[in-house]
Amino acid sequence: MPILNRSAELQAEITEWRRDIHRNPELLFDVHRTAGFVTEKLREFGCEEVVTGLGKTGVVGIIQGRLGNGPTIGLRADMDALPMTEMTGKPWTSTSPGKMHACGHDGHTAMLLGAAKYLCETRNFKGRVAVIFQPAEEGGGGGNEMVKEGMMERFAIERVFGMHNLPGLPIGQFATRPGPIMAATAEFVITVKGRGGHAAMPHTVVDPILAASQIVTALQSIASRNVHPLDSVVVSVTKFHAGDAFNVIPDTVELAGTVRTLKKEVNADAESRMRTICAGVAAAHGAAVEIFYDSNYPVTFNHAEETAFASAVASEIAGAANVDTDITPTMGGEDFSYMLEARPGALIFIGNGDSAALHNTAYDFNDDAIPHGVSYWVRLAENALAG
């Protein structure tokens, strides 16, 4: 079946919600206005229960089906923005300097709110739908906080599903895959300690810049020479901080960056090799090195049965030809991974059309995707909880 008529009717209203959220971006757990907006709407729709403050500022609404008792499924959206300055020039551009919705969480939240409104109107299912609005996806692990607070047990959630927009995928299309679909993430800080001095007398110093520069190059051998060619790993140095003057070699250099993998064991191997490489290169230059390595978001791993189910629902909305069931995994991270570790479920991508990339100052969520996303959520709930 195509998109639901009611979701098309609601598009203008949902678009206004989305643009209101977009104008007022909030970071990490500090999403009080957005959470308040969500809470007000869920109560207005008639949810049986609206619980706030989960995972610090998360919100969960419970919708009871009219066909009787049954299991509970979770549908999840994220609410937080990014610390970036928007350059879209749209009428609904961010009003908060240095903050913008550059990943489409405003669209995710609005679409799930639209689905909640529809499901509260119809209740054409047996059991309960938990609509989950989480904070701090962009580095704060808000999904993990909600899981640790017992969200799954509190609401007896048996399966959980997520959706994320994807620039480059046409509007009206979906994409997913069983198994790893998004990467595990790790962050590192490497401090190289030398002995500074006059730049005109390099023979009297231990130059940490030279050592750090060679570390940056040597770390690329992890992907090219230490990991199986069919496994995926990305090692990116994204910060290099050193020195304050033209004629002074500094005492220390700080490097920082990220590691992305699709297997836990590959992440462990990458950390081990990083420590060995850094120690060896530093020692060769007479320098010392300290490494902070933090493995945070795990692999986003789609469960096979739930992925097949989500693909079938998407095919009802978009047609089988418009659902890619074996998309290449992305090395981006996603804290929906914590929910998928706690319960069976699946993440699916929805097309955002020919837009700027995620985490780009020119990005904006495409409001034409709204009816497709709302229809997907509604049909997923109704099919999963069929009477």
Contact call for residues 47 and 120 (beta carbons, < 8 A): yes
Asked whether residue 387 carries a pLDDT value surpassing 80, the answer given is no
Collapsing DSSP states into helix, strand and coil, what is residue 61?
strand
Give the pLDDT confidence score for residue 298 in this predicted structure: 96
Question: Rounded distance, CA 115 to CA 121, Å?
Answer: 10
CA separation for the pair 318, 306 (Å, rounded): 18
Distance (Å, rounded) from C-alpha 252 to C-alpha 205?
A: 12
Q: What are the start-end ranges of the E strands in the chain?
A: 49-54, 58-64, 72-78, 128-134, 157-166, 174-175, 179-182, 184-193, 197-198, 233-242, 248-249, 252-261, 288-295, 300-302, 323-324, 345-351
Report the largest interatomic distance among the alpha carbons of the chain, rounded to a whole angstrom: 82
Question: Which tens digits make up the pLDDT trace of 90-129?
Answer: 999 999 999 999 999 999 999 999 999 999 999 999 999 9
pLDDT digits (tens, 9 = 90+) for 298-332: 999 999 999 999 999 999 999 999 999 999 999 99
- With H, G, I as helix, E, B as strand and everything else as coil, classify residue 34: helix
Residues 363-374 pLDDT 10s? 999 999 999 999
Mean pLDDT of 55-83: 97
Rounded to two decimals, the pTM is 0.94
- Torsion from C-alpha of 159, 176, 136, 10, nearest 10 degrees: -80
3-state SS class at 13: helix
Q: CA-to-CA distance for 352 and 104, rounded, in angstroms?
A: 9
Contact 19, 86 (CB under 8 A): no
Query: Helix 11-23 and helix 370-384: axis angle, to 10°?
Result: 110
Q: How far is C-alpha 330 from the chain's CA centre? A: 11
Binned at pLDDT 50, 70 and 90, residue 2 comes out as confident
Cβ proximity of 179 and 369 under 8 Å? no
Residue 161, C-beta contacts closer than 8 angstroms, at least 6 positions apart: 73, 74, 75, 76, 306, 310, 345, 346, 347, 348, 380
H-state helical runs in 189-261: 208-219, 221
User: Residue 1: is its pLDDT beyond 60?
Assistant: no
In DSSP notation, 331-350 reads: S---THHHHHHHS-EEEEEE
**Residue 344: φ, ψ to 5°:** -60, 145
**Residue 72: C-alpha distances to residues 125, 127, 158, 252 (Å):** 11, 6, 6, 54
Q: What is the pLDDT of residue 3?
A: 83
